[in-house]
Structure 1
Amino acid sequence: MLDRRYQVFVATSGLDMSPERRIVAQTLIGIGFSSWCVEHRTPVSTAIARRQIDESDYVVILLGSKYGDCSVSGVSYMHLEYIYAITKQKPIIVFIHADPRNRPDELQETSLQAKEKFNNFRKQLQHEVDQVFFYRDLRDLELIVRANMLHMLECFPVLGWIRPQNMQILQDRIDALNAKVNQLERELKKCEHDMVAICDVSVEDIYCFRYRIQAYQDGYVHEMEHERSEDWGQLLYVLSKVFKTLMPEECFAKCLNDYLNETALAELRITMPQVYAVGRAQIQVQHLYHIKLQMRQNEWILPAHRDERHRMLWKLSSKAHEILETYIQQQNRNFQLNSNSYSNL
């Protein structure tokens, strides 16, 4: 089991929140988090806080009854840390004292301007952050932090980091995955070699492929596997009906399967005269792959470009249009000759 840890930056108003900050830090350590916090505020501390936020997985805002020390801009350092965390898209969780007015006088803001800034910031957090929780005392804060930080892992999963002593376990897993990838790549190359032997073909050449289909006979469904022989011209003619316009690659399978559903019944009745319906035809994957590559090899149906969903779109080529015209004319002549021969009989 990898010993994973998560880094948390805790933003507070300053030294007035030291007891709460210690409780949060101790609680976080107990549940697998490490925490950073900058309590002594100076212009230099702003750069340190930002670097720590950059390296943190989560940001905690811990708000008591003070707005905190302010920068030269008049905005408190805690407020600036909150704004910076938002710009870095860090998951933020806020723990707010439920009754700040009843905290000791020394923990209250003394000026009306500071109190107004505190109240505005308190409202802003409640309005902008989804994960906001209220506590009344230190024990209450401990329980709330323990429960809701674990919930943050589920709602906002992050990579975290692995303790160095467990790096060997991680490296072993990486090595095992690399070996698996190499094995799969070798198997893929072998499959491609076994499945496809691509060369130029003419429309008169015959291609044999296999497909599965369901045949309905005597109230039962029979799973069948059959072989079909078609010349490449017929296959091109079938596909041309779909790829006259730009269509996604998956239409190869749908078009051929629809064609088999329409034509397989007569073929099956030769050996199964009682079959009255067929459906759910599915050409074997290696033959589908071969047909697709052959269409591309012959420059009959070619990939054109990708759509807004990044799907490759294919289209019938001008070369294929010319070939089909000749092929259809020849098929019509053959049909006419066969009809005349039949009439003479």
Structure 2
Amino acid sequence: MEKKYQVFVSSTYKDLTDERKEVIQALLELDCIPVGMEMFPAADDDQWTLIKNLINDCDYYVLIVGARYGSVDDEGMSYTQKEYEYAVQGKIPIISFLHKNPDEIPSGKTEQDPKAKERLKQFLAVVQNKMCRYWITPADLGSQVSRSLVKLIKTNPRPGWVKATDLPTEDAIREILDLKAKIERMKLEADASKSQGPEGTEDFSQGEDEVDFSFMYIGVEKSYPNTRYQYESEFSVTWNEIFAAISPLMIDEATDDSINSTLKSFIFKKEKDNISESLAKTNRKFAEIKANDTLQTIKVQFRALGLITESNRKRSIHDKDTYWQLTPYGDNVMTRLRAIKRV
């Protein structure tokens, strides 16, 4: 949508007529709307109210200072300074342009009153605390304003003005509002998905529910390690215990093999005493555990509970492994189970 920016041009008037023409031309070439009230007397409250309203409506404020302080109000403050301070108070982006060599300005365009000179000096000290540029000729000033305002618009974007014909129609506005509402619902659903499982999973075995799994362990003769014996066994465990054991593997992603390896280590630690006691009776020692069927059941259950999902990350066509990763909800559950609690 094409925008036009309204720019308030503040300066003394009679001494800067040529300079103002260059600035206004530069603003028009940038498709900006120049506004200025310094050519009016601004000697009463109604006029000052009008100036303030115009400044409020502007997107940017340009100050031009030569060697004159300008006409003053009852308190001795020039209207140029008054406008400047009002723009500062309103937090309107300001850029000031000061004459580089004020001593070289013809005497007819300079202050003659010592008090006005001192006030101008004080005003310049205030202005130079913010962003300002320096100019010598009217053409130089116009060029400075053009370049500086383009940069100011980029660094300080403002609402601007658009044609009524460019505004969205009532149907477009309604569609935008509907889309915003849809996005908000999706955000709420996404947040909810991090703290609870999918709808319908409340009837599934989960959490601290206990489940019995079968596994197989291999024993070998101590004197004949190539002779292997298989033993079937079962172990009882909660779903949370299993998930706490294998979930850190899937913070990024993990293959079936790596999950199976971690699961077997978990089973061995849990059943170590029973396995050792069983093998000791036959004078055999432990070799390995097989639990492929158990792994498949666990994957199906955790997938059904919305804790894990198959990774769809692109990889080499030669990579035939299946990869698994945590869902946002799974990551939340893992953190709750594995994070160290404050004592």
**8 Å Cα contact 2:197/2:329 also seen in 1:** no
Compute the RMSD of aligned alpha carbons.
Answer: 4.3
**8 Å Cα contact 1:60/1:94 also seen in 2:** yes
**8 Å Cα contact 1:195/1:286 also seen in 2:** no
Q: What secondary structure, in the 3-state scheme, does the structure 2 residue paired with 1:60 have?
A: strand
1:37 is aligned to 36
Q: Deviations over 1:264-307 (max 9, x none)?
A: 633378479xxxxxxx9742335446x59xx8xxxx9xxxxxxx
Aligned partner of 1:71: which letter? Answer: D
2:151 is aligned to 151
Matches within 5 A, 1:250-329: 257=251, 265-267=261-263, 270=290, 282-285=325-328, 287-288=330-331, 291=333
CA distance in 2, matches of 1:4, 1:230: 66
1:307 is aligned to none
Stretch of structure 1 that moved more, 193-202 or 92-101? 193-202
CA distance in 2, matches of 1:47, 1:230: 78
Q: Unpaired segments of 5 or more residues in structure 2?
A: 212-235, 265-288, 293-322
The structure with higher relative contact order (CA 8 Å, sep 6+) is 2
Aligned partner of 1:123: which letter? Answer: A
Q: Deviations over 1:196-227 (max 9, x none)?
A: 33648772256xxxxxxxxxxxxxxxxxxxxx
Distance 1:256 1:12, change over 3 A: same
Give the CA deviation at 1:65. 1.0
Aligned partner of 2:71: which letter? Answer: D
Q: Which has the larger radius of gyration?
A: 2
Q: Deviations over 1:81-129 (max 9, x none)?
A: 2222122211110111222233233321121111121122223212x11
Stretch of structure 1 that moved more, 13-22 or 66-75? 13-22
Aligned partner of 2:125: which letter? Answer: K
Give the CA deviation at 1:26. 2.2
Aligned partner of 2:30: which letter? Answer: I
1:82 aligns with 2:84: yes
Aligned partner of 1:160: which letter? Answer: G
* Corresponding residue to 2:56 among 54, 57, 60: 54
Aligned partner of 1:42: which letter? Answer: A
1:231 is aligned to 238
1:203 is aligned to 208
Q: Deviations over 1:139-195 (max 9, x none)?
A: 1111111111111111212221212121147x6764554454455567779986993
User: Identity percentage over the alignment?
Assistant: 22
**8 Å Cα contact 1:204/1:232 also seen in 2:** yes
**How does the TM-score come out when normalised to structure 1?**
0.59
Stretch of structure 1 that moved more, 26-35 or 172-181? 172-181
Q: Unpaired segments of 5 or more residues in structure 1?
A: 207-228, 240-252, 273-279, 301-313, 322-345
Q: Deviations over 1:24-73 (max 9, x none)?
A: 12221210211211122313332222222222111111111101111222
Distance 1:187 1:3, change over 3 A: closer
Give the CA deviation at 1:15. 3.6
CA distance in 2, matches of 1:37, 1:162: 20
Q: What secondary structure, in the 3-state scheme, does the structure 2 residue paired with 1:5 have?
A: coil
